[in-house]
Structure 1
Amino acid sequence: MSSRNALVRQTSGSPGTGESAATGSDREPGWWAPPSPERARTLLLVAARPTICALAATVVLVLLVMLTTDTDLTSAPGAVGATWLAAHQVPLTVGKTTLGLLPLVPTAVLLLVAARECARAVPNRPTPIELAWLTGAVLAGPLLMTAVCIAVVGDAAGVTPLQPPGAFTAFGWVIVLYLGAAAAGIGSRAGRSLCASVPIEIPDWAVLGARTARRTVLRMLGCAAVATMISFFAHLSRLDGAYQQAHNVTDVLGMTLLSLLYLPNAVIAAAGLLSGAAVQFGTGSVGLFGVTGAQVPAIPALIPVPEGPASAWWPVLLMIPLAVGVLGGIELGRTSDDRPGAPWATLTSAALATLTFLVLAVLGGGMLGAVGRVGVDLLMLVVLMGTWFGFGGFVGMMFARRFLAPAEPAEPVEDYDDEYDEYDEYDEYDDEDDDDFYYDDDDYDDDPEPDVEVDAELVTDIEDDVEVSIAAPGSAEQPGEDIVDAEVVEPDLPEGGKGTGR
């Protein structure tokens, strides 16, 4: 039990359970209090480990590309700095060409690693100062590495045509991205306890709407991914033209890898296209109602982009976002017990889902050299998705109320923070108290029961059907004279033996 208590003390960082016991103080730290040495080591790992892993992967990737393409290694530092900035969606300028349409796969991997590292470091019962230190640790490593990469790219400007980005833009992107990663990590670990500590009561319809919005976004992205794959196989004849610029196997592998990195960008654009919003390619655009002068680059990632003129059946695809909204409304109608609040939950779900797609469209679009801006029309995206999700959700909610039976309420899921609550009572014991509950194996005998010597005459008297009468406690009636007085004789214990109470 002492080892289990030590594990709880080591993993818990909350006041009064882990760190307060280690520091010997039960007083809650104030805003001025620095973290304890154990907590400081944890924060250092949060700041350094994701950054070091990302930098190592970037260096390996850049060197691999340079060695396979016979590129001079003198430009390796500038390439490493530019790759780090591109992975954080910082626009790059090569000569007079600006590249702002950057792949989302590296960004998603970096943020996922940072969010998981942050979630592991969240204490069981976090205080605001602990969360502030943790958020600062998540930001510290990437910001420091971004500053170094900006300086390296600036120094390499004399060797390569790469221009350093503005410090405000670079640091702004890094801060926004890693604040989102910190929020996701903290929310996944202590979201319920934080919501419970908010002085303003959060209505149930808002929580239900947020959960439905998450499922709505995932469903819409899944439909967009399926539509992208179908369109890819439908336009498979373009594959030869997409690889015309590839001169050897290395070029083919590079273009294929680059297309896979841009796959999330294509899926986000497909989601906007299914909602009715146009996807812009510079001065042209591609939509369900028409294709106007779109200059689509010949790369494998853009093979699924439909060609003009628009077919008459394309507007039928608008039923997909409408059906996704209806499905979300049906879930709200079946699971919500608050009939007056259900419409507000529907509006909340539609608004949050639309906002999520707006953020994804901003991340998935950008400038693409001479082509111009490539991405979804943001204004049309907000109007159309808000309409489909809101109207479809209201229709689904009314349908569920009228024709479907309400779903059984799900069993409450225990909070992750309560996982160690059953062990908190053991923190009251120190190591000396733990010894009181410890028994040595030598204290037990091999025989399951001790030998007991019984008088033979006594056994004979009991077998003669003698009535035994025992008076109940507190009873006025005394037992009769026929009570048998049995005496049990225990065997003599060996010297030095220790009774175990058996």
Structure 2
Amino acid sequence: MNKNTSPQSRSTPRPRSQARGRTVRAERTPRAPHPSGSRQSSGSAQRVARKAGSKAKARRTPAPLTKTGRIRRMLITAAVPNVVIVLIIMAIALGGLMLTGSPMAWWYTIVAETWMVFNLAPVSAADVHISFLPALPALILAAVVAVRVRSAIKHKVSVKDLLTLLTCVLGVPVVFTIIAWLMLWDAGKVYDVSPPNLAQALLRVIVLHLAAMAGGMGTRLWRALAKRYGVPRQIIDAAQIALRYLGYLAIGAAIVFAVVFVLNISRQGEMMDEYPTVSGLGVAGLVLMSLLYIPNAIVSTAAVLVGAEFSVGEGSVSLFSAHLVPLPPLPITGGIPASMPGWAVALMIVPLGAAIYSVYKKRPNFQDALVATVASAVVMLIACYLVSGELGYYGVTGPKLWTAAGLTALWMAVVGSAVAAGFAFVAWRTARMETGASPDDEHADTPAVDAAATDAATDTAEDSAEPEREPITDPEVVDAEVVEDQVVEDQEAEEEGAATKANAEEDSPAEDVAKRQEEPEEAEGEKRGVAKPVSQQLKDQMGEKEQDSPSENSPEEGERG
């Protein structure tokens, strides 16, 4: 009989549902959700661990040691955003020329002029000089550069790396600006364009990219540099207070400008009616240009809120008065009020609130207030410088630089000094209340103080009475220290052995435990000399005799043999 047909060789018959490879999944009882959410916590823990591991690996990655490798890496970091911007400009300019059917010879001129606009450098065409340029493209470029700088130095960086990166961040746009200037100089021989003032263009480019570099470094790196060169960390914290103050001021200025723009929305139609020849495409271009000028409007509004003036040629606007001239046909200029109401002075509460909110949580002292004042003045001066300039036939346009910077610093100085004085007074009063005590309390505490002083004097006398001990030079004492360490190790080993034995006894059966407990008792009984029963003693003696008899008879048996 074949084993396949033998009944003994047949396996247990399977259910019909599992025959011919068909399986039915067994019904599982639904698991109750874990009260602590272990799966979610384990998943989040794994993600955190993976992220921390990647960061640690990035920190362990060695930086390039050679000078060539360092320059190559930093040059790529600084060149990528500028090259990307140039490529975008070239593509947009080429598309615009193809759509409008303009000659391709204009392409180089458009690319050079647009590069100047992206870096807030002045442009000139048809004897019209414009340096009051839209700040939004430059803000985008600075943000991209700051992100690239941050990605290059967020894990590991040296001072040489920072110097190399700074040189590349400033050198690449300077080289591109010089190339664009040369292209405009060459195009000026054919077209009605002229290169701008090279010194002014390079100054704006350097200031813009230097600000991007400073912002990309981050607070942690600035604190590390301050610690390395012995600069008090308090200066970095105070500069951070100033930046927070200017940030709150910018938010308040944006809100105020939006409200004023909505209230004067009717003026937009009036301004556009004065230019009936503008087509629909021209209107779209004006709207786009207005959007690009939004950062300029925010900075100018902030300058007006602190008490400075915004000038458009011979016209000016402040919280106290307004004197306007015919403005450019831009929708954003409709937000400039033609007259200033008397209650506009109440808007000074915006810089006041921004200063208080930025200073109160940090509890600064007078030194912090001074540093924050200087930092706020410098940052406001740079911002107003970048968003102001000449606007063709209108002349100088933008906020008054030194007035805006001085008043911004004045708000911070007044509020910071007041808050610092308030916290100093509170701290002085609290210290005085803690140190000041009533006469009864002083008399009650006197015996305790005297007793403590007496005990201290007694201990001092006893210590002085002891003879001076000679320094220990005996090598045996050193060996004794090692021996003491060994003793400690032996004691720990004995404790571990006792613990292991206890665990073994817990795991062993009860009978074995009883036998192990009886054996030590018997051994202890023998050691202590406990009397055994008579029968047990006779058996022990008989056993000893039987063991001795073979040894005694062995010589006789040898003789018989």
- Same fold per TM (> 0.5)? yes
Q: Which residue of 2 aligns with 1:360?
A: 383
- Equivalent positions of 1:179-190 (< 5 A) are 179-187=210-218, 190=221
Alignment pair present for 1:34 and 2:70? no
Q: Check whether the contact 1:328–1:396 (CA below 8 A) recurs between aligned residues.
A: no
1:111 is matched with which residue: 132, 142, 164?
142
Q: Check whether the contact 1:280–1:376 (CA below 8 A) recurs between aligned residues.
A: yes
Shift of residue 470, structure 1, vs aligned partner: 11
Q: Check whether the contact 2:78–2:168 (CA below 8 A) recurs between aligned residues.
A: yes
Q: C-alpha separation between the residues in 2 aligned to 1:86 and 1:63? A: 17
Shift of residue 84, structure 1, vs aligned partner: 0.2
Shift of residue 70, structure 1, vs aligned partner: 5.0
Residue type of the partner of 2:62? G
Q: C-alpha separation between the residues in 1 aligned to 2:319 and 2:519? A: 94
Shift of residue 266, structure 1, vs aligned partner: 0.5
Q: 1:384 to 1:242 in 2, by over 3 A?
A: same
Q: Check whether the contact 2:122–2:197 (CA below 8 A) recurs between aligned residues.
A: no
Q: 1:468 to 1:19 in 2, by over 3 A?
A: farther
Alignment pair present for 1:54 and 2:98? no
Q: C-alpha separation between the residues in 2 aligned to 1:10 and 1:157? A: 54
Q: Which residue of 1 aligns with 2:356?
A: 326
The 10-residue stretch of structure 1 (256-265 or 184-193) with the greater mean CA deviation from structure 2: 184-193
Q: C-alpha separation between the residues in 1 aligned to 2:246 and 2:177? A: 31
Shift of residue 5, structure 1, vs aligned partner: 13
Shift of residue 174, structure 1, vs aligned partner: 2.2
Q: C-alpha separation between the residues in 2 aligned to 1:117 and 1:478? A: 83
Unaligned runs of 5+ in 2: 1-49, 428-503, 527-561
Q: 1:40 to 1:329 in 2, by over 3 A?
A: closer
Q: Check whether the contact 2:303–2:404 (CA below 8 A) recurs between aligned residues.
A: yes
Q: Check whether the contact 2:204–2:386 (CA below 8 A) recurs between aligned residues.
A: no
Q: Which residue of 1 aligns with 2:409?
A: 386
Deviation per CA, 1:249-288: give whole Å up to 9, x if none: 3222211111111000001110011111111111221111
Q: Which residue of 2 aligns with 1:225?
A: 254
Residue type of the partner of 1:346? A
Q: 1:467 to 1:263 in 2, by over 3 A?
A: same
- Equivalent positions of 1:25-424 (< 5 A) are 34-36=67-69, 39-67=70-98, 69-122=100-153, 124-187=155-218, 190-198=221-229, 200-202=230-232, 204=234, 206-244=235-273, 245=275, 247-308=278-339, 310-333=340-363, 336=364, 342-399=365-422
Q: Check whether the contact 1:89–1:173 (CA below 8 A) recurs between aligned residues.
A: yes
Q: Which residue of 2 aligns with 1:495?
A: none
Q: C-alpha separation between the residues in 2 aligned to 1:97 and 1:277? A: 28
Residue type of the partner of 1:383? G
Residue type of the partner of 1:218? G
Q: Check whether the contact 2:381–2:402 (CA below 8 A) recurs between aligned residues.
A: no
Q: C-alpha separation between the residues in 2 aligned to 1:478 and 1:168? A: 106
Shift of residue 217, structure 1, vs aligned partner: 0.5
TM-score by length of 1: 0.71
Deviation per CA, 1:442-473: give whole Å up to 9, x if none: xxxxxxxxxxxx9xxx958426x3354999xx
Q: Which residue of 2 aligns with 1:18?
A: 62
2:515 is matched with which residue: 459, 466, 471?
466
Q: C-alpha separation between the residues in 1 aligned to 2:334 and 2:397? A: 15
SS of residue in 2 equivalent to 1:466: helix
Residue type of the partner of 1:379? W
Q: C-alpha separation between the residues in 2 aligned to 1:478 and 1:194? A: 77
Shift of residue 9, structure 1, vs aligned partner: 9.5
- State the aligned residue count: 398
Q: Percentage identity across aligned positions? A: 23
Q: 1:201 to 1:286 in 2, by over 3 A?
A: closer
Q: 1:64 to 1:460 in 2, by over 3 A?
A: same
Q: C-alpha separation between the residues in 1 aligned to 2:223 and 2:179? A: 38
Q: 1:72 to 1:10 in 2, by over 3 A?
A: farther
Q: 1:4 to 1:279 in 2, by over 3 A?
A: closer
Residue type of the partner of 1:298? P
SS of residue in 2 equivalent to 1:93: strand
Q: Higher helix fraction: Structure 1 or Structure 2?
A: 2
Q: C-alpha separation between the residues in 2 aligned to 1:168 and 1:18? A: 40
Unaligned runs of 5+ in 1: 21-28, 337-341, 405-453, 472-476, 483-502
Q: 1:365 to 1:462 in 2, by over 3 A?
A: same
Q: 1:41 to 1:123 in 2, by over 3 A?
A: farther
SS of residue in 1 equivalent to 2:327: coil
Q: 1:213 to 1:343 in 2, by over 3 A?
A: same
Q: 1:306 to 1:102 in 2, by over 3 A?
A: same
SS of residue in 1 equivalent to 2:188: helix
Q: Which residue of 1 aligns with 2:37?
A: none
SS of residue in 2 equivalent to 1:102: coil
Q: C-alpha separation between the residues in 1 aligned to 2:51 and 2:344? A: 62
Q: Check whether the contact 2:71–2:164 (CA below 8 A) recurs between aligned residues.
A: no
Q: Check whether the contact 1:44–1:137 (CA below 8 A) recurs between aligned residues.
A: yes
Which structure's relative contact order is higher, taking Cα pairs within 8 Å and 6+ residues apart? Answer: 1
Shift of residue 401, structure 1, vs aligned partner: 6.0
Shift of residue 332, structure 1, vs aligned partner: 3.5
Shift of residue 392, structure 1, vs aligned partner: 2.2
Q: Check whether the contact 2:324–2:338 (CA below 8 A) recurs between aligned residues.
A: no
Residue type of the partner of 1:87? F
SS of residue in 1 equivalent to 2:132: coil
Residue type of the partner of 2:376? A
Q: C-alpha separation between the residues in 2 aligned to 1:154 and 1:145? A: 14
Residue type of the partner of 1:325? A
Higher Rg? 2
Shift of residue 357, structure 1, vs aligned partner: 1.3
Q: 1:150 to 1:193 in 2, by over 3 A?
A: same
RMSD: 3.4
Q: Check whether the contact 1:268–1:364 (CA below 8 A) recurs between aligned residues.
A: yes
